[in-house]
Amino acid sequence: MNEAIRVIISGGGTGGHIFPAISIANAIRELQPDAKILFVGAEGRMEMQRVPQAGYDIKGLPIRGFLRPLWKPGNIGVAIDYLKSKRMAKQILREFQPHVAVGVGGYASSAALGAANSLGIPTLIQEQNSYAGLANKQLAAKAQKICVAYEGMERFFPKEKIMLTGNPVRQALLDSKVTREEALRSFGLDPARKTILLVGGSLGARTINESVMQHLGEIAVSGLQFIWQTGKYYSRQIAEELKQKGRPDCLVVCDFIADMAAAYRAADLVISRAGASSISEFCLIGQPVILVPSPNVAEDHQTKNAMALVNRQAALYVKDSEAPEKLIRLAIATVRDDARLKSLSENVLKMALPDSAVIIAKEVIKLATQ
């Protein structure tokens, strides 16, 4: 095949879908610099900003998630938008004429890969979670290859199509040369003190935020340092509450952390949701972590992601409903226990699957050129 390969990459909605998608695109470009890559996302979702920022073109579909319960009247409009999105996706593919379509999960992925299947275009699914999403389970029957991050995924997908690749992560995290001392000073913190990082994803996590607000007194007298990403959605409310209650000097508050490589390097312990991309990052950098799975996700897949690590003594786990009471006290006790931190780091490193983006990119190129 002499012509440049053309690849559709579809999905998004959260950083957990977008970062792997961009990493795969970057890896394809590394291997095939003349490759033509077009993203398909959902209008109004974060991929419509993040993908162009990464240097790729993207087309938006008016697709959105169904409301729960399914009999809500608003779902009539959702269904109409879904059918419209399928037609639009098919038109985008006819115009772009891709050799292969890649789905990373999210609303748009369902429409775009469904359209690819109907047009006879080979498809590859990248499933990030330990519990497969409904859309990917439905798309799997016609997919040529299914790249997964966890063992045992044959309970969801045809075994002969599965390839254990791990999840692509943000390359900047692996390439960063910043030292722990430099990272801490960038946050205005003391390199001589232990540090806990709290992150709830790009939008924030209400339970993690409540856990901090309910234990400001213990944080203030802990002798530790805290970096707290509140999420933009909650930042104004938290700023007002901290004005009333007082912000401990040892607590650095950010609505969003742009340089996560520095934040991870600064932290002796991380508190996080259990999204698949975050977990893959912790595995690759050997980060001790307490996971607080979000209960507001399909099939409770974040708890299943977390337990894959907890069952190997590679992470600690606090149930969302118990976090406001238990989380901060567990974190303070854990970060003071050097032996436990060392054990968590060693065990989580054993679960790392490096070079995921390149491995997946090679499979994409193989499908495009066969």
Euclidean distance between CA atoms 89 and 6, whole angstroms: 15
pLDDT at 134 (0 to 100): 81
User: Of the given ranges (22-31, 186-195, 219-228, 271-280), which has the lowest mean pLDDT?
Assistant: 271-280
pLDDT at 120 (0 to 100): 96
pLDDT at 370 (0 to 100): 86
pLDDT in tens, 306-332: 999 999 999 999 999 999 999 999 999
Q: Which helix (H) or strand (E) holds 347?
A: helix 338-349
Are 39 and 59 a contacting pair, CB within 8 Å? yes
Top-confidence residue, 235 or 5 = 5
pLDDT at 74 (0 to 100): 83
Q: Is 74 helix (H, G, I), strand (E, B) or coil?
A: coil
Share of the chain above pLDDT 90, in %: 75
Mean pLDDT of 21-41: 96
Structure tokens at 179: 């030292």
pLDDT in tens, 191-215: 999 999 999 865 558 899 999 999 9
3-state secondary structure 26-63: HHHHHHCCCCEEEEEEECCCCHHHHHHHCCCEEEEECC
pLDDT at 203 (0 to 100): 57
Share of the chain above pLDDT 70, in %: 98
User: At 235, is the pLDDT very low, low, confident or very high (cuts 50, 70, 90)?
Assistant: confident
pLDDT at 65 (0 to 100): 78
pLDDT at 229 (0 to 100): 94
- Picking from 7, 110, 118, the residue whose alpha carbon sits closest to that of residue 360 is 7
CA distances from 126 to 88, 101, 189, 291 (A): 22, 11, 39, 23
Are 63 and 111 a contacting pair, CB within 8 Å? yes
User: At 69, is the pLDDT very low, low, confident or very high (cuts 50, 70, 90)?
Assistant: confident
Mean pLDDT of the chain: 92
pLDDT at position 70 over 90? no
pLDDT at position 287 over 90? yes
- Residues with Cβ within 8 Å of 164's Cβ and at least 6 positions away in sequence, in order, are 148, 149, 150, 151, 353
Helix crossing, 323-335 with 206-213: angle to 10°?
70
- Residues with Cβ within 8 Å of 358's Cβ and at least 6 positions away in sequence, in order, are 27, 30, 31
pLDDT at 72 (0 to 100): 82
User: At 11, is the pLDDT very low, low, confident or very high (cuts 50, 70, 90)?
Assistant: confident
Helix crossing, 276-285 with 15-31: angle to 10°?
60
| pTM attached to this predicted model | 0.83
User: At 140, is the pLDDT very low, low, confident or very high (cuts 50, 70, 90)?
Assistant: very high
Mean pLDDT of 2-13: 90
pLDDT at 204 (0 to 100): 58
Structure tokens at 215: 């234990």
- Residues with Cβ within 8 Å of 159's Cβ and at least 6 positions away in sequence, in order, are none
Q: What is the DSSP string of 229-291?
A: E--TTTHHHHHHHHHHH---TTEEEES--S-HHHHHHH-SEEEE---HHHHHHHHHHT--EEE
Mean pLDDT of 354-370: 95
pLDDT in tens, 237-283: 999 999 999 999 999 999 989 899 999 999 999 999 998 889 999 99
Number of other residues whose CB lies within 10 A of the CB of residue 69: 7
Are 320 and 292 a contacting pair, CB within 8 Å? yes
pLDDT at position 219 over 90? yes
**Helices H, strands E: what count in the chain?**
16, 13
